[in-house]
Structure 1
């Protein structure tokens, strides 16, 4: 084992982090800087985390391009793109910390693109200012490399124990009347041995990719089982109806491949053939931001264009006007991916693109400190619902993961429980979900939670899932169905259109619904609106 600290199930004061991507590494590093030991527990090593796939960049109002950018403008753009569902205080803190986070990354060796010594910033969707720092088109990969090296410093001192190839099984609780999180149980995937660890927990296990087979740009290793498990254990979720479809993806075996928003930030243009002629529909409909409108808007316009009887059946991304310097210095990896998967050179031919599921704005409900509704349990990164509201700005995902991990670690550091005595937890379910059941759930969700939705389809999908519950299922299948029902019921509950949630039967935005949806399970799935910014106990 590549660590100095002995793994001890009863060791006091050790924090358990589930997930080793950007949010998990950020949590570990900030805890270690405060001399608090932690276990970094993950199915895959950090080098294979989904965060490695992030391409375009990370937002921060550095203002190196002389555009008079500010944290206030970054905050305003984030809230507006999210249709004002996110907590303004949390978003403000995110934007204010963003420049400091980018400077930290720069200091630990992230090779951001530079000019005359200054970090270069590019345009990204939904923002009028250049504020996205980038490293060509492989930003996630180089951020992860730098953070892994930084984390190893603390591993060598015994402050971080890395437990790769260990799968989260269940949360452990203490206290009968008012349960508190007291630890976790995990499974060593090499030996099959179960380990129980006492201590507070930070969940950083990513989004719900495994519930939407073949339609997400995220890693296929993320099954969604961890989310289903904690939901079944009473952890509250929010905004589950808010699923971001990225407008420019291509199909590859088993998933979607992202064509980064950076391509449009550098001048790429979307078009469809209308009456045989290229129609640059985003530029015509939205002359100010054009192809850099927020992702929900572009995906929706693609949906409408494809249903126009005068238009062809394919949208294209046109990058042929980009200069050789841009391809060489800013988008080399993107060009290589397209050549590899489609067999065409995007510098010479347009790319056929389709919307694909790229990010889950909804997830575990947390407050400004990243506390959940369960004491001693925190969540950060894509698995939680915090900064993005009804639609995420490009460039805010890596920022949200890094800042969320930091915020959780710093708050937890000041609120470490003195002692924790876990009660006996539920027996670990070693049954695998039937692949046929997984596929059925996925097909039902995709049929009802597309770019455009309606009440009848949502109700039909719910009835089909309820029918699945009546069949003989194992516990893992039950948990997946309950969380899928929570997604559908959240979408049915919101009888309006807002951000990524577009209801054909309720096409207008209704300010009475300007609240976060909250999903809770206590034997039944229950949906409500949060009418105030509650905090965890």
Structure 2
């Protein structure tokens, strides 16, 4: 039996892939799939299907992905991703994903960091429709008993013996009963949005607890400093609301008022890709022009055609009107960068294996395809492809019969550990969550420096003097690892911009890897091309 933690895009993809090969799995998640963060993805999914007459191919997709990622992603992994992308899009269409069509051809739009129209979309609700199709596909195998759902079950810890994962312990959120699920484990638990509650476009239900806990248990992480700020968000209650990159892909323009005139700064500074430079570049330029001119940045979509608003961005327009009481069709809207995606996470190789045997990871919780900065449109693709890759590796091991897990088929009830039943970001003391968030947000902003990073470490050290439960300690260790990764990388590359080290340095052209050993965090740079654990 295989245990998958997380029922979003990566988890569903892994479960369906296993089930197709006749391998049973448990799909374990805090929330049902319908509430996974994957539902929130808006703009589209990349793949060089070349339906727009621009002679696109997978080599161009590969080059754009590597360049945007600061040339530190593993080339073999990225090539596998982009070469499979066209088949993934066709597969999604075959199971009912209603991509925008014209003359029965899937339409693709421009997205940041890409010179070709490569992003297939369904208006600006692409994640929702893909998830709906995959949920339906998974139900076919649920009926056959190959996928067993355990929604509203919370991850507690892995069981690891001699660096071999034996299974996973979880708790039923409704009854409080704890269970042990024996077997290989695929982690598909999403990113670290909960660390930045109030400042992120992602779901804060993705608390980062799984990553914090497995880090405490000795699993290696990588590229934690690479935190993507999406250029265009609007502030709403307790989070940042994404204004999809599709808005700029369809012709939206960024500007500030300078000397009482509109200055379209991205078009002046980057005449080739203009407002569609990679997200780290756009966010950084917004930060500097706003600071240096004491000005608000606006997104101007007033020149978009009626056809675009009606057929491609109707849901985005409704969302903006709802939250801002402004119609983007008739007036520019104020925007600001917000935390959107975590390129770093659980370190995996090209098979999606971690540093612990029988433990795998896929989706945003792992560090795989995006290097120092993710291309818009590659997240949905990476989650689906990564889930498939992890499932392929697990299926091979299952069929080979490697590792005897005994005879536990059904979940085994275990006694609850009262000291470990409080997830750190959901503690009764909300002030702890806010303190960690504020420390991280200040240290790991769009622009960083040694002084700010060291200040963050000292503030975290002060927090450890307060009474903390074990899970809160695990969370602080993860926060320390994030800041230490930013401090260690003494260069500017992708999402890690150091104003005290503004240039790239080839000494750091690799993955920042961290592991916790006896309360000490070991850190170093590995060349991605080495691809070894």
Report the TM range for the smaller structure's normalisation.
over 0.9
Give the Å deviation of 1:313: 2.2
Listed one character per residue, the Cα deviations across residues 36-80 of structure 1 (whole Å, up to 9, x for unaligned) are 000000011000100000000000000011111111110110000
- What's the counterpart of residue 145 of structure 2? 158
Give the Å deviation of 1:426: 9.8
Tell me whether 1:105 sits opposite 2:89 in the alignment. no
Tell me whether 1:517 sits opposite 2:478 in the alignment. no
Question: Are the aligned partners of 1:274 and 1:312 in contact in 2 as well (CA < 8 Å)?
Answer: no
Question: Are the aligned partners of 2:72 and 2:528 in contact in 1 as well (CA < 8 Å)?
Answer: no
The separation in 1 between residues aligned to 2:88 and 2:270, in whole angstroms, is 33
- What's the counterpart of residue 443 of structure 1? 438
TM-score, reference length from structure 1 = 0.95
Q: Count how many residue pairs are aligned between Structure 1 and Structure 2.
A: 519
The separation in 1 between residues aligned to 2:422 and 2:283, in whole angstroms, is 38
SS at the partner of 1:307?
A: helix
Give the Å deviation of 1:275: 1.2
The separation in 2 between residues aligned to 1:376 and 1:259, in whole angstroms, is 39
RMSD across aligned C-alpha pairs, in angstroms?
Answer: 1.5
The separation in 1 between residues aligned to 2:67 and 2:267, in whole angstroms, is 21
- What's the counterpart of residue 257 of structure 1? 241
- What's the counterpart of residue 420 of structure 1? 405
Listed one character per residue, the Cα deviations across residues 54-108 of structure 1 (whole Å, up to 9, x for unaligned) are 0000000000111111111101100000011100000000000000000000000
SS at the partner of 2:397?
A: coil
Tell me whether 1:237 sits opposite 2:233 in the alignment. no
- What's the counterpart of residue 316 of structure 1? 298
TM-score, reference length from structure 2 = 0.95
1:490 to 463, 485, 492: 485
Q: 1:339-418 residue pairs with structure 2 within 5 A?
A: 339-416=321-398, 417-418=402-403
User: Does the C-alpha gap of structure 1 residues 350 and 93 become closer, same or farther in structure 2, counting only changes over 3 Å?
Assistant: same
Question: Are the aligned partners of 2:8 and 2:37 in contact in 1 as well (CA < 8 Å)?
Answer: yes
The separation in 1 between residues aligned to 2:277 and 2:160, in whole angstroms, is 45
Question: Are the aligned partners of 2:5 and 2:187 in contact in 1 as well (CA < 8 Å)?
Answer: yes
Question: Are the aligned partners of 1:201 and 1:377 in contact in 2 as well (CA < 8 Å)?
Answer: yes
Question: Are the aligned partners of 1:375 and 1:536 in contact in 2 as well (CA < 8 Å)?
Answer: no
The separation in 2 between residues aligned to 1:355 and 1:329, in whole angstroms, is 26
The separation in 2 between residues aligned to 1:347 and 1:173, in whole angstroms, is 55
Q: 1:214-233 residue pairs with structure 2 within 5 A?
A: 214-233=198-217
Listed one character per residue, the Cα deviations across residues 145-189 of structure 1 (whole Å, up to 9, x for unaligned) are 000000000000000001100011110123xxx320011011000
Question: Are the aligned partners of 1:244 and 1:296 in contact in 2 as well (CA < 8 Å)?
Answer: yes
The separation in 2 between residues aligned to 1:218 and 1:461, in whole angstroms, is 23
Give the Å deviation of 1:224: 1.4
- What's the counterpart of residue 31 of structure 2? 44
The separation in 2 between residues aligned to 1:25 and 1:514, in whole angstroms, is 33
Give the Å deviation of 1:536: 6.4
Give the Å deviation of 1:228: 0.8
Give the Å deviation of 1:312: 4.6
- What's the counterpart of residue 186 of structure 2? 202
Give the Å deviation of 1:472: 2.1
- What's the counterpart of residue 127 of structure 2? 140
Q: Which range moves more in the overlay, 226-235 or 427-436?
A: 427-436
The separation in 2 between residues aligned to 1:256 and 1:298, in whole angstroms, is 17
Question: Are the aligned partners of 1:17 and 1:24 in contact in 2 as well (CA < 8 Å)?
Answer: yes
Q: Detail structure 1 runs of 4+ shifted over 6 Å in the superposition.
A: 422-426
The separation in 2 between residues aligned to 1:483 and 1:312, in whole angstroms, is 35
Give the Å deviation of 1:530: 1.4
2:495 to 496, 500, 516: 500
SS at the partner of 2:34?
A: helix
Question: Are the aligned partners of 2:75 and 2:529 in contact in 1 as well (CA < 8 Å)?
Answer: no
SS at the partner of 2:464?
A: helix
Question: Are the aligned partners of 1:54 and 1:139 in contact in 2 as well (CA < 8 Å)?
Answer: yes
SS at the partner of 1:415?
A: helix
Listed one character per residue, the Cα deviations across residues 24-47 of structure 1 (whole Å, up to 9, x for unaligned) are 000000000010000000011000
Unaligned stretches of 5+ residues in structure 1: 1-13
Listed one character per residue, the Cα deviations across residues 444-494 of structure 1 (whole Å, up to 9, x for unaligned) are 001110000000110011011112123321101100100000000000000
Q: 1:270-309 residue pairs with structure 2 within 5 A?
A: 270-308=254-292
- What's the counterpart of residue 119 of structure 1? 106
The separation in 1 between residues aligned to 2:294 and 2:247, in whole angstroms, is 23
Tell me whether 1:338 sits opposite 2:329 in the alignment. no
- What's the counterpart of residue 57 of structure 1? 44
The separation in 2 between residues aligned to 1:234 and 1:179, in whole angstroms, is 8
1:527 to 499, 505, 523: 523
Question: Are the aligned partners of 1:220 and 1:254 in contact in 2 as well (CA < 8 Å)?
Answer: no
User: Does the C-alpha gap of structure 1 residues 381 and 226 become closer, same or farther in structure 2, counting only changes over 3 Å?
Assistant: same
The separation in 1 between residues aligned to 2:384 and 2:415, in whole angstroms, is 31
Question: Are the aligned partners of 2:72 and 2:527 in contact in 1 as well (CA < 8 Å)?
Answer: no
SS at the partner of 2:191?
A: coil
Question: Are the aligned partners of 1:269 and 1:318 in contact in 2 as well (CA < 8 Å)?
Answer: yes
